[in-house]
Amino acid sequence: MAILKILQYPDERLHTVAAPVAHVTNKIRLLIQDMAETMYDAPGIGLAATQVDVHERVIVIDISEKRDQLLVLINPEIIASHGASDYEEGCLSVPGIYGKVQRAESVTVKALNAQGELHVVDASGLLAVCIQHEMDHLVGKVFVEYWSQLKLTRTLARLKKKQRRTM
């Protein structure tokens, strides 16, 4: 297993639309292991393959306190959603930046697991938000892009200033 490099916003590769996974192979399983290790190390609660510059529809999530309930979603598709809620979000690709995004309060998602079996997940609260956030990455969208142009411009300026300090 390996810790992968997480792309940082506004890297253009974060806007790449991920391709569906044709078959769940050992290569995909290794990617899942590496993504999980990367997410836990960061530390974060979710990671999409796009964020590690692999443009396939793979997501790993673990919102458990003990970090022992890894959820793998391959080719995820929201089949139902209900309600709306504003949630304070952050992102491993936009470190140190947090803000509210309106998303569905609950979602039902169908996806393949690491064994290639179809499963359905009913999620609400933080898990629903995390799933929607990570699925956005698969279509090339980052959570800050939901914000007003003014707030996004200020966020980009903060990120550039932070990057200059670390160079």
Dihedral angle over CA of 54, 56, 61, 67, nearest 10: -50
Positive/negative CA dihedral, 22, 122, 114, 34: positive
Active site residue 77: no
Positive/negative CA dihedral, 162, 164, 165, 167: positive
The one catalytic residue in 12, 88, 117, 134 is 134
Q: What residues act catalytically?
A: 134
